[in-house]
């Protein structure tokens, strides 16, 4: 199976995010609760994509800079800013290159559903460390590494209950799902153990504050009943020492 980039699927991905009940109904409510008040703060949306989070941050009073590598996604973000200006600055940049960014530029930083797409995790956390002011906060979200593993699948037990079967959790590396229709069947992901994420966070001088594992409700729960049994997403808040 060949793997593509977000640049190649920018239009499709934009529509997918707009329509997905997982992101709108499950992820966003808990994300904003975890984020808290951002009014007046300088915030970076790292790996901002088409700017869906950056725009809401700006609406909530933050001074926002969005950074992404995919020029086609940035074009969508810039077009939205031109149509409804919110004062967002969008820049093209590689989150794996810490030296490309100005030190101590931001009060806070968000990175939403992107770390799985990036090969060098430690470099990204070093970039975050560099960009934040001392004591700055970080909120990131990833697909849950314990349950969104390469060979994980839903099964129905003999009693009719939905269960998640996970194999290959300890084998880290790039993978793509064979199930069509989603993001991971197009761009794949870098699977890592939960401990790998947390150890990389600590190595970059961050302190963990809070973790959330949203349970599906509403339309997402009807679409994927198993998301009421195990979480698809993991949200983490930390601050820089």
Structural domain includes residue 34: yes
- CATH number of domain containing 109: 3.40.50.150
Structural domain includes residue 223: yes
pTM of the model: 0.94
Structural domain includes residue 186: no
* Domain interval for residue 221: 10-144+199-240
User: Per-residue pLDDT tens for 121-149?
Assistant: 999 999 999 999 999 999 999 999 999 99
Domain total of the chain: 1
Backbone angles phi, psi at 65, to 5 degrees: -120, 125
User: Per-residue pLDDT tens for 52-74?
Assistant: 999 999 999 999 999 999 999 99
User: Per-residue pLDDT tens for 171-199?
Assistant: 999 999 877 888 998 999 999 999 999 99
Split at pLDDT 50, 70, 90, the class of 1 is: very low
Residue 2 clears pLDDT 60, i.e. is over it: no
- The mean pLDDT value of the chain amounts to 94
Structural domain includes residue 166: no
Structural domain includes residue 185: no
Q: Residue 86: which of 113, 131, 56 has the closest Cα?
A: 56
Structural domain includes residue 187: no
- Provide the token pair at 165: 């079967």
State residue 93's pLDDT score.
96
Structural domain includes residue 113: yes
Structural domain includes residue 82: yes
Residues 6+ apart with CB under 8 A from 232: 22, 26, 143, 144, 147, 148, 214, 216, 224
Vertex 221 angle, CA 217 and 224, to 5°: 150
Residue 207 clears pLDDT 90, i.e. is over it: yes
């Amino acid at each position: 199976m060949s793997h593509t980039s977000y640049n190649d699927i920018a239009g499709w991905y934009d529509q997918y995010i707009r329509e997905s009940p997982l992101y709108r109904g499950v992820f966003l409510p808990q994300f904003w609760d975890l984020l808290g008040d951002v009014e007046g703060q300088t915030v970076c949306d790292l790996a901002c994509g088409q700017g869906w989070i950056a725009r809401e941050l700006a609406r909530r009073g933050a001074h926002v800079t969005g950074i992404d590598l995919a020029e086609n996604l940035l074009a969508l973000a810039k077009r939205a800013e031109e149509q409804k200006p919110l004062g967002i600055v969008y820049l093209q940049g590689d989150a794996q290159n810490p030296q490309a960014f100005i030190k101590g530029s931001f009060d806070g930083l968000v990175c939403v559903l992107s770390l799985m797409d990036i090969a060098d995790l430690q470099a990204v956390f070093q970039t975050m460390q560099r960009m934040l002011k001392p004591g700055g906060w970080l909120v990131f979200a990833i697909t849950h590494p314990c349950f969104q593993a390469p060979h994980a699948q839903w099964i129905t037990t003999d009693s009719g209950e939905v269960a998640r079967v996970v194999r290959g959790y300890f084998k880290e590396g790039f993978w793509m799902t064979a199930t069509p229709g989603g993001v991971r069947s197009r761009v794949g992901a870098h699977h890592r153990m939960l401990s790998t994420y947390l150890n990389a966070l600590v190595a970059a001088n961050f302190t963990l504050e809070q973790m959330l594992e949203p349970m599906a409700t509403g339309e997402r729960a009807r679409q994927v009943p198993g998301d009421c049994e195990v979480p698809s997403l993991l949200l983490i808040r930390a601050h820089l020492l």
